[in-house]
Structure 1
Amino acid sequence: MSALVIADGVVFRGGSRTAGAAVGIRDGRIACVGTLAEAREAAGSGAYELDAAGGLVTPGFVDAHVHLGVGAMDALRCDLSGAVSLAEIDARVRAFAAASAAPWIVGGGWDPTLFPASGPSAVHLDALVPDRPALLLDADHHGAWANSAALRAAGIDRDSPDPADGRIERDPDGVPSGALREGAMQLVARLLPPPATDDVARGILRRSRELLAAGITGWQEAALGAYGGFPDFTDAYLRVLADGSLRGRATGAIWVPRDLTVEGVDAFVAHAVERARANATAGFPSATAKLLLDGIVETRTAHLLEPYGGEDSRGLSYFPPALVQRLLPALNAAGLAVHVHAIGDAAVRDALDGFAAVPDEMRERVRNHIAHIQLIHPDDVPRFAALGVAANAQPFWASPTALFRQSTLPAIGDGRRDELYVFGSLHRAGAAMAMGSDWPVSTFDPWDGIHVAVTRRPPGEADAEPLGAHESLDLATAIDAYTRGSAELLGIASGALRLGAAADLAIADRDPFTASTDGIHETTNAATVVAGDIVYG
């Protein structure tokens, strides 16, 4: 529609709220934020009027780290997400295998807390899929469950060494057990038949509509590259962009291959620059490279400065510091930002050291960021602001969940409980804050993530002991990070309700500022506007 008026809202902009305000929109841009009469005049005659009914009107939420393509493929495969017991997992796998004539059974989403710390076994999966290879990734997509046929197809046996960037779990006698961590997944995943691009494109379109329904108007596809049994999702995105069916503002990050060497940096940067140019021409901004530096704490593959509890290991580092300090300056010099996955404090330090090797004038031209940031050494917290590196937080994780109690704390020790997810410290030190979900690893609902950022408790568990309450953010700061902060990080020009800005908005069913913080997660999205069009609600 060419003109829209949003009436009777509580308008959030610049961290402040204005009750009873209206927004006038014309030709896809914000023409007025003021009284209803002013908004009507700015929108012009014939404008459609939407009643916000006292709900909070914010810029559209922007998810700075989401795997929409992975979620799309999970729906095409054996989907184990949400299964609450081994019996349910077994039933889903059996049913999917019985209904599929595919040469491989592929899927994932299983909850690691339902299995021993060493992971699931091939023998277990053999009983569910005895007639062909099967590979099922866990909910984090950092580990996989293979049956015996899949291990044989990949040539994985007692004598197989662990890859440099992963681990093959083994029985006490040294025989591979069926659980594969990090780079070890790729030993099997490289054998999987590729999916049809049309199927993936339809899945991305369907999932994008779910994001829009949650108030998310823009996002970053966090990894454009083949890895872990997933294809490069670029072609699928270009397909739905070409036919005009994708309504949200999608951006992407080009995957840095795990086998990159110092000698191959220049060739990779040239390749990434050309891909970014071609994607931008097609309406898919992707002037960012995605660098995965380590794994996750729960499988003891995150890279730590100090050893994990009960062992000498400090986890896995996927790229040596020398390569990081060569690659990051080369990418920034070419005009490409870098989106780093760093969970452990050693990985965060390696990333910051790499950014420190970039001349100031080069860093200032791009938007570098580090995602996940589960552990950061106190000495490194102020370096984010000093180096102009944004903290790309996934706040939903920052609470004492079952996975936290069963896997995270035993790995790092109770003494580090309050050192996790130091969002408050980063904000106080002046770091630019952005937020995302990492869906399908966790929910993409922004209000659930904001709830945890503010309360440090799981939604609906008001009596839970908060995880490092001193690291909480206030509600205004969290909303600002999930809207303006993420939009600025991704170069999306719709993160603020200001005159002339692209009219991407989310309208909540209430004003969460007027109630207890324990109920933030009960806020739901009532309507979503993209470029002045109501796309949900």
Structure 2
Amino acid sequence: MSALIIGNAVVFSDGRVQDADTIGILDGTIVAVGTAASVRDAVGRGADELDARGGLVTPGFVDAHVHLGVGAMDALRCDLSGAASLDEIDARVRAFAADSPAPWIVGGGWDPTLFPATGPSATHLDALVPDRPALLLDADHHGAWANSAALAAAGLDASTPDPADGRIERDADGRPSGALREGAMQLVARLLPAPATADVARGILHLSRDLLRAGITGWQEAALGAYGGFPDFTDAYLELLRHGTLVGRATGAIWVPRDLTLDGVDAFVAHAVERSRVNAAEGLPSATAKLMLDGIVETRTAHLLEPYGGSDSRGLSYFSPALVQRLLPALNAAGIAVHVHAIGDAAVRDALDGFAHVPAVDRARVRNHLAHIQLIHPDDVARFAALQVTANAQPFWACATALTRQATLPVIGEHRRDELYVFGSLHRAGAALAMGSDWPVSSYDPWQGVHVAVTRRPPSEPDADPLGAGEALGLATALDAYTRGSSDLLGLGGGAIAPGRAADLAVADRDPFAAPASGIHETRNVATIVAGAVVDA
């Protein structure tokens, strides 16, 4: 029998700091929470002890929307994340190409704000990779940069129409300029060589340890399916699970293919049910489908109710309302929850309208959620609670970054500044909240996201103007969403520090409730416990 006592702790659970300083664990389950004496009596002699040194102990953080598979692929490719200038991007691409014998140069992570609004050009990339095709995805993974050889390999020219779910940026003569948005990426990405499953699995394992070090004990891989040059990561996860090397509670969401039609709904639902059954038997719960309804605001591909500034475009909608209203009830009736990517207010409304067509008894059996939710029409805020739809927030974005100032507000209007990421309004309206990072798009460190949720300012910028100060969450609310909220959403069985609950815990180096909110981002995780065992990540 394994036994662990965590003492000298500030214990946070159920949305508040508890009147307790010690936690007792036996065989992976919490058995006592209270004073040191009472917990020792419950646990008995011979327990290992962990001194929290006055730090906050929370339920393990759970990332309800992360892409470890994408991060693993990025590590195998030309990694441009963090490059702060065009010169640095150029140097990284040249160096990678010089060292790589691969027939394609593939990678990504470039910052869109370093390029014009129309995106990077093929001629620029031709100078860096002149001898073979190259395709580099941006930091959001919603756009790609192709050189002339890649465009030619895919047969793209002035006569190539835009796909229904994307856009080919073009020069003055109508020829593809090198920037591909959303579904247009797939026109080139479908040609990329497939990576070895073992290589991807090793990358996922390495990154999962990074999550554990940050206090994240569970997560949802937000897209299990081939799209945008990435393979289906299911086999990589199952390989890790079969070898028993994956620590932490992983779940997955089965990708809804972009070419799904009304006639194919029943077949897809049957496929999702079978995939869920097989994956669960291997230890990867996947009773969720991932439906991507629109793109992102910055490239005018998010689906809006009102036109983007200076145009009559309302962005892109990847699935018709009729299909959404057919698919969501069919999935829920089969016991499959739906994880929706919805950035624009029109996409959010389409999703909620779809959930409104689900009988209440079916909605109650699953855990539906909308992720990202950058813009929500005020009339739709209360519908989250009414339809039992969880708001799956990515809080790190909810501040005025360079991207917000340079690419978001210019296309939707400065007057909408306080309408972005209305987490406070959702909470006041009774919506269930969960949180995630969307890593590698933003930091996976939960304390960075919690900092922004509470202050609405970028970490380390205490004097910045808050983005929609009225939409800030209290520290207790944000922590509860990132722990209990996400755990409940994914059905992981933790989420609380109470007898009978799974002992998945995170130990911080301080008590952020005892200090100004401006310092929340300085909090560091110092120990992670999964199923009662201190993780050596």
Task: Give TM-score, length-normalised by structure 1.
Answer: 0.99
Residue 37 of structure 1 and its aligned partner are, at CA, apart by 1.8
Q: Is the 8 A contact 2:19 2:34 kept in 1?
A: no
1:12 matched residue in structure 2: 12
* Distance in 2 of aligned mates of 1:333 and 1:490: 18
- Higher mean displacement: 301-310 or 33-42: 33-42
> Equivalent residue of 2:131, what SS?
coil
* Distance in 1 of aligned mates of 2:506 and 2:299: 37
Letter in 1 for 2:458: P
Query: What are the equivalent positions in structure 2 for 1:330-349 lying under 5 Å apart?
Result: 330-349=330-349
1:289 matched residue in structure 2: 289
Query: What are the equivalent positions in structure 2 for 1:264-413 lying under 5 Å apart?
Result: 264-413=264-413
Residue 205 (structure 1) aligned with residue 223 (structure 2): no
- Which ranges in structure 1 are unaligned for 5 or more consecutive residues? none
Residue 44 of structure 1 and its aligned partner are, at CA, apart by 2.6
Q: Is the 8 A contact 1:26 1:42 kept in 2?
A: no
Residue 227 (structure 1) aligned with residue 227 (structure 2): yes
Residue 133 of structure 1 and its aligned partner are, at CA, apart by 0.4
* Distance in 2 of aligned mates of 1:234 and 1:458: 34
* Distance in 1 of aligned mates of 2:80 and 2:199: 19
- Higher mean displacement: 10-19 or 110-119: 10-19
Show CA shifts across 1:271-315 (max 9, x none).
010000000000100000000000000000000000000000000
Query: What are the equivalent positions in structure 2 for 1:415-494 lying under 5 Å apart?
Result: 415-494=415-494
Cα RMSD (Å): 0.8
* Distance in 1 of aligned mates of 2:189 and 2:43: 53
Show CA shifts across 1:150-173 (max 9, x none).
000000001111000000001122
Letter in 2 for 1:323: L
Q: Is the 8 A contact 2:20 2:33 kept in 1?
A: no
Show CA shifts across 1:445-493 (max 9, x none).
0000000000000000000000000000000000000000000000010
Show CA shifts across 1:309-351 (max 9, x none).
0000000000000000000000000000000000000000000
Show CA shifts across 1:430-455 (max 9, x none).
00000000000000000000000000
Residue 498 of structure 1 and its aligned partner are, at CA, apart by 1.1
1:140 matched residue in structure 2: 140
2:42 matched residue in structure 1: 42
Letter in 2 for 1:450: V
* Distance in 1 of aligned mates of 2:19 and 2:57: 10
Show CA shifts across 1:146-201 (max 9, x none).
00000000000011110000000011221111000000000000000100000000
Letter in 1 for 2:489: L
Q: Is the 8 A contact 1:25 1:42 kept in 2?
A: no
* Distance in 2 of aligned mates of 1:252 and 1:376: 26
Residue 18 of structure 1 and its aligned partner are, at CA, apart by 3.3
* Distance in 2 of aligned mates of 1:499 and 1:121: 59
Q: Is the 8 A contact 1:475 1:513 kept in 2?
A: yes
Task: Give TM-score, length-normalised by structure 2.
Answer: 0.99
* Distance in 1 of aligned mates of 2:10 and 2:286: 34
Residue 39 of structure 1 and its aligned partner are, at CA, apart by 1.9
* Distance in 2 of aligned mates of 1:63 and 1:30: 22
Q: Is the 8 A contact 2:448 2:521 kept in 1?
A: yes
Residue 262 (structure 1) aligned with residue 262 (structure 2): yes
* Distance in 2 of aligned mates of 1:475 and 1:314: 35
> Equivalent residue of 1:90, what SS?
helix
Mark the CA change 1:394 to 1:378 in structure 2 (over 3 Å): closer, same or farther.
same
Q: Is the 8 A contact 2:373 2:393 kept in 1?
A: yes
Letter in 1 for 2:332: N
Q: Is the 8 A contact 2:384 2:391 kept in 1?
A: yes
Q: Is the 8 A contact 1:167 1:183 kept in 2?
A: yes
Q: Is the 8 A contact 2:80 2:108 kept in 1?
A: yes
1:504 matched residue in structure 2: 504
Residue 40 of structure 1 and its aligned partner are, at CA, apart by 2.1
Query: What are the equivalent positions in structure 2 for 1:55-66 lying under 5 Å apart?
Result: 55-66=55-66
Residue 38 of structure 1 and its aligned partner are, at CA, apart by 1.9
Show CA shifts across 1:86-134 (max 9, x none).
1111111111111111110000000001111110000000011111000
> Equivalent residue of 1:506, what SS?
strand
* Distance in 1 of aligned mates of 2:301 and 2:139: 16
Show CA shifts across 1:227-284 (max 9, x none).
0000000000001111111011000000000000000000000001000000000010
* Distance in 1 of aligned mates of 2:44 and 2:222: 40
Letter in 1 for 2:82: G
Letter in 2 for 1:308: Y
* Distance in 1 of aligned mates of 2:190 and 2:500: 48
> Equivalent residue of 1:253, what SS?
strand
Residue 42 of structure 1 and its aligned partner are, at CA, apart by 2.4
* Distance in 2 of aligned mates of 1:529 and 1:72: 24
1:177 matched residue in structure 2: 177
Letter in 2 for 1:56: L
2:248 matched residue in structure 1: 248
> Equivalent residue of 1:277, what SS?
helix
Letter in 2 for 1:355: F
2:150 matched residue in structure 1: 150
* Distance in 1 of aligned mates of 2:13 and 2:258: 41
Letter in 2 for 1:478: A
2:30 matched residue in structure 1: 30
- Which ranges in structure 2 are unaligned for 5 or more consecutive residues? none
Letter in 1 for 2:270: A
> Equivalent residue of 1:192, what SS?
coil
* Distance in 2 of aligned mates of 1:169 and 1:3: 60
1:162 matched residue in structure 2: 162
* Distance in 2 of aligned mates of 1:191 and 1:299: 24
1:78 matched residue in structure 2: 78
Residue 93 (structure 1) aligned with residue 90 (structure 2): no
Give the total of aligned pairs: 537
Q: Is the 8 A contact 2:304 2:344 kept in 1?
A: yes
Residue 365 of structure 1 and its aligned partner are, at CA, apart by 0.4
Residue 536 of structure 1 and its aligned partner are, at CA, apart by 4.2
Letter in 2 for 1:320: S
* Distance in 1 of aligned mates of 2:172 and 2:83: 29
Q: Is the 8 A contact 2:289 2:338 kept in 1?
A: yes
> Equivalent residue of 1:141, what SS?
coil
* Distance in 2 of aligned mates of 1:238 and 1:43: 35
Residue 20 of structure 1 and its aligned partner are, at CA, apart by 6.0
Show CA shifts across 1:5-27 (max 9, x none).
10100000112213660000110
Letter in 1 for 2:463: D
